[in-house]
Amino acid sequence: MTPSHSLVAENLSAGYGDSVILNGLDLEVPPGKITAIVGANGCGKSTLLRTMSRLLPATQGRVLLNGKSVHRSPTRELARKLGLLPQSPIAPEGITVADLVSRGRHPHHGLMSRWTRHDDEAVAQALEVTKTADLSERAVDELSGGQRQRVWIAMALAQETELLLLDEPTTFLDVSHQIEVLDLLTDLNHSRGITIVMVLHDLNLAARYADCLVAMANGRLHAYGNPEDVMTEANVETVFGLRSRVIPDPVSGKPLVLPIGRHRLSGL
């Protein structure tokens, strides 16, 4: 499957008030692939996702979705093509899983339009692929962190966009739930050709699951490309200020980062 969509940031600057966070950044999201963004806290990862999905205006440069500026596109039309799962979404008190997921259909409805069969099918499918169908009548606020995260992903899936940006989809999850979410996203990428861009904090999982790795520092791209080329000891040192060893991951063959702190070291 060759996806027909593209998402490109050109010379992009953005920030909050007077403080400039993104500073002339260029990024071409590879269509049909999984891209992972890594970087230190506060380096501007969320800001980049928010600007690329026009939640934040660009002070300079532009973001093009299929060649059209996202900041100039009608917001509802854009929301049918580009989905974003923010870092901390809020579940309304007591809302059920099915109800929350069905809100992903919002951009497909105008003031007067009625709910259709297709809407129900999109919601049903989103619940099924995320394995939340059994939870559909449960209240979201009484789910575990991993279940809740899958529900939010289901909501974004019900939106039926070709591109999906996810801000830290695995935060607060234990290791098995992290793997579960990343496997799910990979499945979606493989089966539906959805382009995925996600912010991850676990470097090893980022290197393992991403086709393309983006390392950010100070509002710029420090490195970009294959995980093997990006996840080097030198890059880890500049991006995170951390010494490390990088060895091949015996499980995946991808780079495995072993951080070097001041204690508990042997045989170096």
Partner 1 sequence: MTTISFAYTVAAGRLARVRQWRRVVVALMLLVLAGFALTLMLGQSFTPPDEVLRVLAGKDVPGASFTVGQLRLPRAVMAVLVGMCFGMGGVAFQIMLRNPLASPDIIGVSSGASAAAVFCVVVLSMDGAAVAGISVVAGLAVALIVYGLSFRNGVAGTRLILVGIGVAAMIDSFIAFVLSRAPSWDLQEALRWITGSVNGVKLDQALPVLVALAVFGGLLLSRTRDLEALRMGDDTAAALGVRVGTTRIVVMLASVGMIAVATAATGPVMFVAFLSGPIAARILGPKGSLLIPSALVGAVLVLGGDYIGQFVLPHRYPVGVVTGALGAPYLLYLIIRVNRAGGSL
Q: How far is CA 225 from the centre of its chain?
A: 17
The number of helix segments (H) and strand segments (E) in the chain equals 9, 12
- Binding residue for ligand ATP, selected from 21, 79, 97, 100, defined by CB under 6 A: 21
Map tokens 């596109």 to a residue. 73
* CB of 143 closer than 8 Å to CB of 135: yes
Q: Is 86 in the site for partner 1 (CB under 8 A)?
A: yes
Beta strands in the chain (DSSP E): 7-16, 19-29, 34-39, 60-65, 68-69, 82-85, 163-167, 195-199, 212-217, 220-225, 243-248, 255-260
Q: Is 259 in the site for ligand ATP (CB under 6 A)?
A: no
Site string for ligand ATP, 64-103 (x = CB under 6 A): -----------------------x----------------
Q: Which is nearer to partner 1, 163 or 213 (CB)?
A: 163
Least Å distance, CB 8 to ligand ATP, is 20
Q: How many residues bind partner 1 (CB under 8 A)?
A: 49
Least Å distance, CB 43 to Mg ion, is 9
Contacted entry of ligand ATP, Mg ion, partner 1, none for residue 253, CB cut-off 5 to 8 Å set by kind: none
Instruction: For residue 195, give the DSSP letter.
Output: E
Instruction: Using the CB atoms, write b or e for 128-140: b if 16+ within 10 Å.
Output: ebbebbebbeeeb
Q: Is 15 in the site for partner 1 (CB under 8 A)?
A: no
Smallest CA-to-CA distance from 252 within 224, 227, 225 is with 227
Number of residues that make up the chain: 268
- Binding residue for Mg ion, selected from 35, 46, 159, 178, defined by CB under 5 A: 46
* CB of 106 closer than 8 Å to CB of 113: no
Q: Is 124 in the site for partner 1 (CB under 8 A)?
A: yes
Instruction: For residue 143, give the DSSP letter.
Output: S
Q: Which two tokens stand for residue 14?
A: 């953005």
User: 3-class SS at 123?
Assistant: helix
Q: Which is nearer to ligand ATP, 45 or 54 (CB)?
A: 45
Q: Is 44 in the site for ligand ATP (CB under 6 A)?
A: yes
Q: What is the DSSP string of 224-238?
A: EE-HHHHS-HHHHHH
Q: Is 53 in the site for partner 1 (CB under 8 A)?
A: yes
Least Å distance, CB 2 to partner 1, is 26
Map tokens 């026009």 to a residue. 54
Q: Is 111 in the site for partner 1 (CB under 8 A)?
A: yes
Contact residues for partner 1 (CB under 8 A)?
16-17, 50, 53-55, 75-80, 83-86, 88-96, 98-100, 102-104, 106-107, 109, 111, 115, 117, 120-121, 123-125, 127-128, 133, 136-137, 139, 159
Interface residue list for ligand ATP (CB under 6 A): 16, 21, 39, 41-47, 87
Interface residues toward Mg ion, by CB under 5 A: 46, 87
